[in-house]
Structure formats: structure tokens, C-alpha cells
Structure 1
Amino acid sequence: MRARLILAANLLACFAALAAGAVAAPVSYDPPAETATLPPGPNLETAQANCSACHSADYITTQPRSFKDPHAFWAAEVAKMRKAYGAQIKDEDAPKIVDYLTATMGK
């Protein structure tokens, strides 16, 4: 009986420690300075406003891409950002972003 009580107390202490870790304060940091800029093109502002919320310009400009059908590639990427990752891109902005990425990074 005593062994069960000790085991139960140990389990309770472990759960309490796990729960305390789950409510730890978030860590803040300063991201490094940008090393690239998005190239000028039609709908640049729309792409910057939406894509830069999660990605650096450097990350966007260095993405591997399909040269066979750039429009289809970027349309799929934007759809993936919206559906799989929950990017808050308005319906009317999605084609503008695709057009921008196709025009500036599709070559």
C-alpha cells in the first residue's frame, strides 16, 4: 500500500512538472536583418504584405521552383500556404501573389 502511495505521489509530481512547462513564458528574439529584397513587379505590395508576415525576402527569393510551368508551381505554393499552413491570405489577394511570383521568380 505504501509503495502505491509513493508511486502515485511521484506520478503526480511528474504531471505537475509537465504542466508547469506547458505554461512557460514565450521566448522573444530579434530576427536578423534582411539580406535580400523582393524584386519590383506587379502586385509587389500585396506579396510583401502577405508573404513577409512569415517569410524573409531571402527565403522567398531562394525557393526552388519549376521552370516548366511557373504559374502552376506558384499557384500550388500559395494554395499550400493557405490550406496546409493557415496563411491568412484573402481570396482576392491569392491570384495577385501568384502573378507577382510568376512574373518575378518564374524565370
Structure 2
Amino acid sequence: MRTSLLLAGLIGLLLARPALAGEDTITLEDGQGREVVEQNCAACHSLDYIVMNSPFLDRVKWEATVKKMIGTYGAPIAAEDADTIVGYLAAHYGKP
């Protein structure tokens, strides 16, 4: 019985490992503003949202997205940080 519980626990940990890794698997491209993006955006959601949405967003759409995060969802992002975030996302994760 004890061995079965131990085995079940180990299997559970192995299955949960990707979920536990979470942000460790997402590394944003190096560049000016990356730390501001990581600090502000990851406070509310996983950074994989940036990578997943990047094929669809240009600078104008990233700007609208950041404004939506602040206005609609109440993200506590300072104006200067919002500009930095948009600049970083447009440069590294924006459509041409």
C-alpha cells in the first residue's frame, strides 16, 4: 500500500511537471524593456500570451492591447512603462 501511494505521488509529480515549470519555459527575447515587460505583464498572466499573440499584432495593436490591459482589466502600469512595453513588444514580437 505504501509503495502504491509513493508511486502514485511520483507519477502525479511527473504529470504536473510542465504545469509547475510554467514561466520557466518562457524566455522573452533580449532587448531594451524586457524586464519592464516581464515585471508588468507577468503580474497578471503568463508570458506565453505574448508569444502566442505576436503573429497577429503590430505596433498599433500592441498599443491597443496594453491600453486594454490598463483600462479594462485595471493593470497597474505606469504611463512610461506602458510606452516601454509597447516599444519592446512591437520591436520583438510585432508583425512587420
Q: TM-score, normalised by structure 1?
A: 0.63
Calculate percent identity across the aligned residue pairs. 49
- For structure 2, the residue ranges without an aligned partner over 5 or more in a row are 1-18
2:49 aligned with 1:53, yes or no? no
> Matches of residues 25-104 of structure 1 in structure 2 within 5 Å?
32-33=20-21, 34=23, 35-63=25-53, 65-66=56-57, 70-104=58-92
- Indicate the SS of the match to 2:80: coil
| Cα distance in 1 for residues equivalent to 2:45 and 2:51 | 10
- Deviation string for 1:20-51 (max 9, x for gaps)? xxxxxxxxxxx631221111111111111100
Shift of 1:59: 2.3
| Cα distance in 2 for residues equivalent to 1:57 and 1:39 | 11
Higher helix share: 2
Paired residues, number? 74
Root-mean-square deviation (Å): 1.4
| Aligned residue identity for 1:61 | V
Shift of 1:96: 0.3
Tell which has more relative contact order, 1 or 2 (C-alpha 8 A, sep 6+): 2
Verify the 8 A CA contact 2:66 2:82 in the aligned structure 1.
Answer: yes
> Matches of residues 13-24 of structure 1 in structure 2 within 5 Å?
none
Q: TM-score, normalised by structure 2?
A: 0.70
